[in-house]
Amino acid sequence: MAKKGNVRHIKSLSSPTYLNVHKKEYKYTAKAMPGRHSLERGIPLISFGRKIGISDSSKYIKRVINTGGIAVNGKTIKQPYYTVGLNDVVDMKDAGKSYIIGINDRAQIDIKEGKEKPARVCKVVQKYKTKGNSLMIRLHDGEVFKAKDKGIGVNDSIMIKGTDPSEGKRLKLDVGCKCLIIDGVHVGDLGIVEGIQKGSDVSKATARIKSGSGAAFDTLLDNIMVVE
């Protein structure tokens, strides 16, 4: 059987929940290119443009992207299928508008417009050393950088205002910090960490969270992101 090549679309009926695509309005929807975010938690830039109302025409949105009219996290992107996802900041240069991508309580994309260019918060998902004994950090969006703060740990977050994550402010996971639930039953909720339970050989580490409504629940550390 011949190879079909790199397919740039998927059926709307089987599209990830995060995309929040009407299953019967269109047969197909754009597929995000592999890379930064996973297919389940990423959206192609061309679909993002449609959601914020640039145009209903894919041809026009592609033209805006190809001419450098959109920047993601401070970098001009000219790839229509470039993947954007949780806490990415997207700037519309000509319109002078900035958007930050979030997640709602249905695990769907939630796009908010900011009056000023917002800072993005990224979760640390891996920490390792290279051969030169340099400490490297990998963020939830796939970005890897050389760390300046040796005390930063996995499950901490970094608040980034520019394009260099190594200059970002560390947000430590600790009792009393504010967090966003990014996965699980309580996805989309904001809460305060009341306690942290270490994991074992048979179970993962968990945190006790008190939500804004006053209810308390336990969830995996993998499911939370420190935001303040």
Whether residue 83 is found in the same domain as residue 160:
no
Does one domain contain both 222 and 149? no
Q: For residue 1, what pLDDT is reported?
A: 52
Q: Burial, 97: exposed, middle or buried (Cβ in 10 Å; 0-12, 13-18, 19+)?
A: middle
Predicted pLDDT of residue 3: 57
Question: Where a domain ends, among 132, 150, 171?
Answer: 171
On whether residue 221 sits in a domain, the answer given is yes
Domain residues for the domain of 154 are: 120-171
Same domain assignment for residues 182 and 209: yes
How many independent structural domains does the chain possess?
Answer: 3
Q: Indicate the residue among 134, 152, 171 that finishes a domain.
A: 171
Q: Are 220 and 181 in contact (CB under 8 A)?
A: no
Residue 88 and residue 141 in contact, taking contact as beta carbons nearer than 8 Å = yes
Q: Which residues contact 107 (CB under 8 A, 6 or more apart)?
A: 17, 18, 183, 187, 188
In this structure, the dihedral spanned by the alpha carbons of residues 76, 79, 85 and 87, taken in order and rounded to 10 degrees, is: 0
Whole-number pLDDT of residue 101: 96
Residue 215 lies in a domain: yes
Give the pairing of strands 120-129 and 157-160. antiparallel
User: In terms of domains, do 25 and 75 share one?
Assistant: yes
pLDDT given at position 2? 55
- Tokens representing 220? 């995996």
Task: List the chain pLDDT tens, one digit each, 228 residues.
Answer: 555 556 788 999 989 999 999 888 889 999 998 888 998 999 999 999 999 999 888 999 999 999 999 999 999 999 999 999 999 999 999 888 999 999 999 999 999 997 777 889 999 999 999 988 889 999 999 999 999 888 899 999 999 988 889 899 999 999 999 999 999 999 999 999 999 999 888 899 999 999 988 899 999 999 999 999
Residue 126 lies in a domain: yes
Amino acid 47: pLDDT:
94
* 2 belongs to a structural domain: no
